[in-house]
Amino acid sequence: MSAPRIVPVSGFAEPEFESLQDVFARVVGAQGRGGAALSIYRDARPVVDLVAGDYAQDGVQLLFSVSKAVTAIAAASAERDGALDLDAPLASFWPAFDRASTRAITTRMVLSHRSGIPALDRRLSLEEVLAGEDERALESQEPYFEPGTAHGYGAFTFGVFMNGVFRRTVGTDVGAFVAERLSAPLGLDLWIGTPEAVWPRVQGILYDPPALTPLRAAWIESSPIPAGTTSQLAATMDLFNSPSALAANWPSTSGVASARALARLLASTLGEVDGVRLIDDRGLDAMLQPRSEGVDRVLGIVTRFGTGMQLPFPQFPLLGPTSFGHEAAGGSAVFADRESGISVGYTTNVYPPMAGASAGFLALLPTIRYCLTH
């Protein structure tokens, strides 16, 4: 019988979080391959920074839907600066939506998945998406339900909407805004549209065969809303290890960051980090105020959203009512908790069978809670 392998762990954890090191190693060991990174800020300073398994110390990760949390912070920052009114109808600055069925849609509805357009009828190739055909398809799409009356997760259309909003109001796309107004002031390894020089640092994604719960399988079978563009493009999952995905400006999907950049970014929503705060208290309140609750028209499960952020729900419970963040199909996750003053970034390169935050991340939540209360 061969000797058991030892899961390598490097980095630091301050005394109150010391027990996380061994639990984190267990989590990464249970993945069976690949690795992960975990970073925690508390009261605007780093208290945990760990890397385990086969994962580079300076590694960055394709974020999938954690990108939506980055985009939500960008929107709140633009609103704080007076460049964007989240409650203005899109029709007031985007003529294609000035029609009866879409005239009520606001940017806040998009951010809370209440636009009524969570997916597109048209199937688009990667080449069409990269050429901007996704925006033209969005402009002609009829809502699946009356905007503002329900919520349905816009896995890809969220980003198409937000790029269109930013270009027409702020004057630049989301990726450029993130680079200039979020990443640069805080010194973050974070991009939407990643420069070629960074590509060698991106940790390649390892895929396990997909699986569904009985509830999810039944919902997909009966839902009138088609699979979103992300699912269509992901028919060959290696797309997301390609330069095309890394370079793409998809605010819903193609963000790339380190765990420490995510923790630092979310810390800057709670207060100043080295003199920089990206949003104000009004923006933070909006992220925590429930906008969408109940059964999601796309996912078929109970979900909860504030303005652009997921709030605790059964699949993603976080620490409680003052937590907000976002999970991702690829297993990574990010969140902050207003009461405890912590922010957490978790990245992994093992794409779990069940799309969403990895079982490893969910297993860490009770340990984080323990560390905060003992």
d(CA 8, CA 197): 27
- Of 87-91, 125-129, 252-256, 315-319, least confident by mean pLDDT is 125-129
* Alpha helices per DSSP H over 81-213: 107-111, 126-130, 133-140, 157-169, 174-177, 184-186
Please tell me what DSSP assigns to residue 5.
Answer: P
pLDDT at residue 346 is higher than 60: yes
Q: What is the average pLDDT across 257-264?
A: 98
- CATH assignment of 9-373? 3.40.710.10
State the pLDDT at residue 229: 57
Please say if the pLDDT value at position 235 is more than 70: no
Q: Is residue 234 pLDDT above 80, yes or no?
A: no
Q: Give the contacts of 267 (CB within 8 A, at least 6 positions apart).
A: 41, 44, 273, 336, 343
Cα–Cα distance measured from residue 55 to residue 206, given in angstroms and rounded to the nearest whole number: 12
Residue 236 confidence (pLDDT) above 60:
no
Q: Which whole number is the average pLDDT over 73-89?
A: 98
Say how many Å lie between the first and final Cα of the chain, rounded: 39
Strand 35-42: give its sheet, edge to edge: 9-13, 45-53, 35-42, 342-348, 333-337, 323-327
Letter string b/e over residues 329-364, b meaning 16 or more CB atoms within 10 A of that residue's CB: bbbbbbbbbbebbbbbbbbbbbbbebbbbbebbbeb
Residue 29 in tokens: 């060991």
d(Cα 52, Cα 272) in Å, to the nearest integer? Answer: 29
Tens digit of each residue's pLDDT (9 = 90 or more) over 166-210: 999 999 999 999 999 999 999 999 999 999 999 999 999 998 888
Burial pattern 91-109, b for ≥16 Cβ within 10 A else e, equals: bebbeebeeeebebbbbbb
Distance, in Å, from the CA atom of 55 to the CA atom of 57, rounded to the nearest integer, reads 7
Average pLDDT over residues 106-114: 98
Amino acid in position 323: S
Side chain identity at residue 108, one-letter code? R
In the numeric block, the tokens 């004057």 are attached to 171
Over residues 257-286, the mean pLDDT reads 98
Q: How far apart are CA 225 and CA 245, in angstroms?
A: 25
pLDDT at 228 over 80: no
3-41: b (≥16 Cβ within 10 Å) or e: eeeebebebebeeebeebbebbbebbbebeebbbbbbbb
Residue pointed to by tokens 């990443």: 183
Question: Quick one: what percent of the chain has pLDDT higher than 70?
Answer: 97
Strand 206-207 vs strand 350-351: parallel, antiparallel, or unpaired? parallel
Percent of the chain past pLDDT 90, that is, above it, reads 86
Banded pLDDT at 125 (limits 50, 70, 90): confident
**pLDDT tens, residue by residue, 299-314:** 999 999 999 999 999 9
Phi then psi dihedrals of residue 120, to 5 deg: -115, 145
What is the residue-wise DSSP string for 189-223? -EEES--GGGGGGBPPPEEPPP---HHHHHHHHH-
Residue 166 CB coordination number (10 Å): 25
Do 245 and 239 form a contact (C-beta atoms < 8 A)?
A: yes
Question: What is the average pLDDT value for the chain, to the nearest integer?
Answer: 95
The per-residue pLDDT for 126 is 86
Hey, what are 9's tokens? Answer: 């762990």
Does 18 score more than 80 pLDDT?
yes
The pLDDT value given to residue 54: 97
Residue 79 has pLDDT above 70, yes or no: yes
- With beta carbons less than 8 A apart as the criterion, state whether 267 and 41 touch: yes
3-state secondary structure of 146: coil
